[in-house]
Structure 1
Amino acid sequence: MTPEEDRAGFFGPDSITWRIHADPSFSVGGIRALLLQALHPVAMAGVHRFSDGFRDEPWARLTRTAEYVATLTFGTRKEALRAVRRVRGAHRGKSDTEETTGRAYSVDDPDLLLWVHACEVDSLLSVARRAGVPLDDEDADRYVREQVVAAELVGCTPGEVPSTVAELAGYFRRVRPQLALTDPARHAARFVVVPPMPGWVQLLTPARPAWTGLASLGLATLPRWARSMYGLPGLALTEPATTAAVRAFRATTLAVPSRIRDNPTLRSARVRVA
């Protein structure tokens, strides 16, 4: 690895990955991804069984997840590889049996990692396009192809990761019969939509209504079949309103100065590659 390759990271400022992950729509896409990921009984069982953060330190867990994606996207290659090693180390040796399917699993099973990856890529891409990020069909395919690197780094089987939008859609068609709204999924969805907050935060800050609005956008942007599984098929009637709301959220957030809006990892990366 040359110093130039390390400095540019795995994607670089000219990538579609930077364009999507640096956009305000990323936060809505991230919530959509969490809600979609929860519908896989075995993947959700692993989160419920081994991630105390969902129960005891929910905000810390969300922060760590966001930091991982930011480091993988905008960090140097060395920084990204360190983050990957930490995640893979946290997964190692954790196994159990999922109650509803009877499947014995390990948290780092490649098919479970692929599900998490596919939900993230599909969510971030679909919400970005809906929010008005300038992306044509070629850009969309390029993003899915770029993200194969992220999937294989975390442990997905090489050659099995979708590399085009069409392949990603085919993957979801194949997996959908395995999906279900289990009790852990309901618990996770409640946490995402109505997360616990200290009383003083709810009384003295706009955090609760702000998060509720963001989470509602995440729910509304789910695919129709996922909304139906959550018992929310009626949201399909508001598709134009949802698109308008996501675009308004993006426009409002873009009006905030980038020094406030951007996360520190992104600001650092822009300086590093300038």
Structure 2
Amino acid sequence: MAVPEGPAGEPDPGLFGPASVTWQLHSDPVMWIAGVRALYLQALHPRAVRGVMQNSDFRTDAWGRLLRTAAFVGTVTYGATPAAERAGARVRGIHRRLRAVDPATGDSYRVDEPALLLWVHCAEIDSYLHVARRSGLTLSDAHADAYVREQRTAARLVGLDPDAVPGDTAALAAYFARVAPELAATPDSADVDAFLQRPPVGPFLVPARNLLWSRIAGLAYGTLPQAAHRLYGRPAPPAPVVDRRLRATANILRAVPDGVRWRLPPQNILRAMERLGPASRPSPSKLARAAAILDESGDKATGNGYG
């Protein structure tokens, strides 16, 4: 199989490459918990969640939707540039055709309105970053800002103007402050909450759901802002308790060898390493080592040079 090449004949690093925060961060298994948190957060925007519920098979094929989302993120992060661009074009094409109807007014609107795409994007990257840091990963503020800035590329793929997307954590926090008055509890958000607490599974998988999934969903819910807990109408444990449980779960997930986790479909990381060589192996520990070195030297972290 031919190896995709970049402009200079070198193997194509993709849209991010091994020198990015995104490359390292997205390899951590707590991203699954972060992804569930993102769903909880996204469902609190009435127009955004209505677009999902009216146009998708979320209720009947929620597992498939989750896996397709994970495959998209993996392709965009680790795939060669042509594959990532094709994935983005497919998503834009699907969204371009979809409409939702506001039941209160009867008005129809496009699900790819920039404001709705921006909400989904910001809820996702905030969740990835938030869960990663609370789970024990050492990320400097400069690395966090670099991650938010890098994700403007992912925003472009789904149809957003990168210049209109937050480029650092301060801008991301300001965005959430602006959009907070638009958030609300709705029947659609209640449906999402009910599914995430007890997703339908076959009888033989009920014990695994009760043992494993309930812990993941509970942790994801616990890491939401208090305002989100109030909207959902369910309390969460105190933040120190959530952090302790999250770190313990993260340690268990991280104890599973990378070679085992990465062999599960769709194997984006393994294919990236085949394309770029073993030095491209991602690990969030590279970010921690870079932050420690920079702290010891007294230099300001730049978010580069940790690949």
**What is the TM-score when the length of structure 2 is the normalising length?**
0.83
Which structure would you say has the larger Rg? 2
Report the CA distance shift for 1:15/1:158 in structure 2 as closer, same or farther (over 3 A). Answer: closer
Against the structure 1 CA distance between its residues 269 and 101, is the aligned structure 2 distance closer, same or farther, given a 3 Å change threshold?
farther
Which structure 1 residue ranges, 5 or more long, are not aligned?
A: none
Deviations along 1:1-52, one digit per CA (max 9) or x if unpaired, are: 6266772011111211122211121111100000000000000010000002
Identity rate of aligned residues, in percent? 43
Which residue matches 1:57?
A: 61
**Residue in structure 2 matched with residue 37 of structure 1 by the alignment:** 42
Q: Gaps spanning 5+ residues in structure 2: where?
A: 1-5, 278-307
2-structure distance, mates of 1:253, 1:183: 33
Is the aligned partner of 1:85 residue 2:89?
yes
Q: Cα deviations across residues 74-118 of structure 1 (Å, max 9, x unaligned)?
A: 111111111111111111221132224766420111110100000
What CA distance in whole angstroms lies between the structure 2 residues aligned with 1:5 and 1:188?
Answer: 45
The alignment status of 1:28 with 2:33, answered yes or no, reads yes
In structure 1, C-alpha distance between the alignment counterparts of 2:87 and 2:204, rounded to whole Å: 34
Tell me the secondary structure at the aligned position of residue 137 of structure 2: coil
Aligned to 1:261: 261
Q: Tell me the equivalent position of 1:139.
A: 143
SS in 1 for 2:162: coil
Measured after TM superposition, the shift of residue 248 of structure 1 is: 1.0
In the TM superposition, 1:240-255 aligns within 5 A as 240-255=240-255
**Counterpart-to-counterpart distance in 1, 2:44 and 2:105:** 13
**Higher helix fraction (1 or 2):** 1
Q: 4+ residue stretches of structure 1 with deviation over 2 A? A: 3-6, 99-104
Does 1:127 find its partner at 2:169? no
- CA gap of 1:5–1:105, structure 2 versus 1, over 3 A, is farther
Aligned counterparts, 1:1-274, within 5 A: 2=7, 7-52=12-57, 54-100=58-104, 104-202=108-206, 206-232=208-234, 234-235=235-236, 237-262=237-262, 263=264, 264-274=267-277
Amino acid at match of 1:193: Q
Cα gap change, 1:222 to 1:6, in 2 (>3 Å): farther
**CA 1:122–1:159 in 2, change beyond 3 Å: closer, same or farther?**
same
What is the distance in 1 between the residues matched to 2:132 and 2:257?
A: 20
Contact 2:11 2:275 in 1 (8 A): no
Return the alpha-carbon distance in structure 1 between the equivalents of residues 67 and 8 of structure 2.
Answer: 29
In structure 1, how many angstroms separate the alpha carbons of the residues matched to 2:152 and 2:9?
22
TM-score by length of 1: 0.93
Number of aligned residues: 269
